[in-house]
Amino acid sequence: MYQVNFNNPVHVHFMGIGGISMSGLAEILLSRGFTVSGSDMKESPLTLHLGNLGAKINHGQVASNITDDIDLMVYTAAISPDNPEFMECKNRNIPMLSRAELLGQLMKNYATPIAISGTHGKTTTTSMVSEILLGADKDPTLSIGGILKTIDGNLRIGKSDYFVTEACEYTNSYLSFFPKISIILNVEEDHLDFFKDINDIRDSFNRFAKLLPEDGYLIINGDIPELQTILDGVKAKVITFGNSSSYDYYPEEVSFNDKGSASYTLKSALGDSKVQLSVVGEHNVYNSLSAIALSDILGLEREKSVASVGSFTGTDRRFELKGKLGGINIIDDYAHHPTEIKATLTAAKNYPHDKLWVVFQPHTYTRTKAFLQEFADALTIADAVILTDIYAAREKNTIGISSKDLLAKLVEKGKESYYFSSFDEIENFILEKCSNNDMLITMGAGDVVKIGEHLLGQ
């Protein structure tokens, strides 16, 4: 595999440079003196930003964009083999890396690369870790899957040896990484358009954990079922967290304030700490345990780390208060898996309201079919459910599933539930039915956020 060395900057060409992840990787290379070019189908704020930093941007993808001075080409999964730039690089024998492979190569240039994985909670935990390192003045480089208010974006380029990134299991992309410290938050069934079953997923996380060197650390949730299947063959030191005194880090005296944010006493061999969170839900207790465990491994001052975690108020689309419509609180949340939905709606129960409405947009046909009953079970926590059409993302509906199937399950359970085929119909229904002091959550990984934003005039 092509080795990327910060001490030997070369010319790197990005196919699909306008994507939020690809643009971030391109910006890191620009900051290190690399020559960067790239192509995308249209101009965007991200391509304009990169152009201002010195990148050469082409709009449209044609073979002539591939010039003699390109040393390396980087592509995304969305690029097909018959793409003219891709084919030209093949014809010229130009070395090629996928986005995940490049990210792994970048990690090798930092003394302390940190990768945060799990079926749920990656963005929030990566953000908590980021706040800790920023609060400790460690000048980290950060790659986050959401917008962190502290850095006003998803990317921060630092000058230290700390590099922090999310590590997604989909298509096994994180198996191209080279972490020194990894966090595994949870392991559940998801992405069943790629993985065969939960055993296949456990095997993937085991392979990810085994990437760590002997002098590395794995911070892992001890409550993960069949934990040993993930730990088999791991050479790094293992640190556990979870809901038991048998783990290295665990909480006691958990309570919630009137906004649904938890406080608890963190128990560990290195001492106890009182933690007050500013994000909602019990699930964030465990996210914060893993982040503080990491800060202890790095030898950071515990009191400062606890304060940094406590000051974290969330990232965009994670129980984000979008505003008030009259007396109705409108919140948006990225939850698109039954476990995430259950965690979000359970957290919402601690937030003051009269009636809890959820506008849920199922994400992908395969996920909807695989978890149809589980989605229905999780959504019953709400007082009323409004369903949109399924957000297709990368898929085509070849399996004959629709939101009406989920509606039927909810009706069977006696849940007040509705389906509308357009956002306009949903907005009109909300204006007619929601009352003062109700809470409305728009939920899903697609574009359902637009409903609340449009109602609020944003």
Walk along the chain (458 residues) and give the pLDDT tens digit of each residue: 899 999 999 999 999 999 888 999 999 999 999 999 999 988 999 999 999 999 999 999 999 999 999 999 999 888 889 999 999 999 999 999 999 999 999 999 999 999 999 999 999 999 999 999 999 999 999 999 888 888 988 899 999 999 999 999 989 999 999 999 999 999 999 888 889 999 999 999 999 999 999 999 999 999 999 999 999 999 999 999 999 999 999 999 999 988 889 999 999 999 999 999 999 889 999 999 999 999 999 999 999 999 999 999 887 777 888 999 989 999 999 999 999 999 899 988 888 899 999 999 999 999 999 999 999 999 999 999 999 999 998 889 999 999 999 999 999 999 999 999 999 999 999 999 999 999 999 999 999 999 999 999 98
Bin 415: left if φ > 0, else alpha if -120 < ψ < 50, else beta: beta
Examine the residue annotation and report whether 342 is marked as an active-site residue of this protein.
no
How far apart CA 37 and CA 259 sit, in angstroms, is 47
Domain range 11-98, CATH architecture: 3-Layer(aba) Sandwich (3.40)
Of the residues 122, 267, 322, 409, only one is catalytic, namely 122
Q: Is 310 helix (H, G, I), strand (E, B) or coil?
A: helix
What pLDDT does 352 receive? 83
Of the residues 85, 166, 189, 340, only one is catalytic, namely 166
Give, in words, the CATH class of 110-311: alpha beta
How far apart CA 104 and CA 175 sit, in angstroms, is 9
How far apart CA 90 and CA 16 sit, in angstroms, is 17
Of the residues 112, 123, 165, 366, only one is catalytic, namely 123
Task: Work out the burial of residue 69: count CB atoms within 10 Å of its CB; fewer than 13 is exposed, 13-18 middle, 19 or more buried.
Answer: exposed
Examine the residue annotation and report whether 166 is marked as an active-site residue of this protein.
yes
Residue 338 host element (H or E) = helix 338-348
- Is-above-0.95 flag for pTM? no
Q: What are phi and psi of 122, to 5 degrees?
A: -60, -50
Examine the residue annotation and report whether 122 is marked as an active-site residue of this protein.
yes
What pLDDT does 259 receive? 81
Do 236 and 218 meet the contact criterion of CB atoms below 8 Å apart?
A: yes
Residues of the chain with CATH 3.40.50.720: 11-98
What pLDDT does 192 receive? 85
Q: What number of other Cβ atoms are within 10 A of residue 422's Cβ?
A: 10
Both tokens assigned to 165: 């990134």
Residues of the chain with CATH 3.40.1190.10: 110-311
Residues of the chain with CATH 3.90.190.20: 320-455
What pLDDT does 67 receive? 95
Domain range 320-455, CATH architecture: Alpha-Beta Complex (3.90)
Do 442 and 359 meet the contact criterion of CB atoms below 8 Å apart?
A: yes
Do 362 and 403 meet the contact criterion of CB atoms below 8 Å apart?
A: yes
Q: What number of other Cβ atoms are within 10 A of residue 49's Cβ?
A: 15
How far apart CA 168 and CA 176 sit, in angstroms, is 11
List CB contacts of 290: < 8 A, sequence separation 6 or more.
125, 183, 185, 219, 221, 241, 249
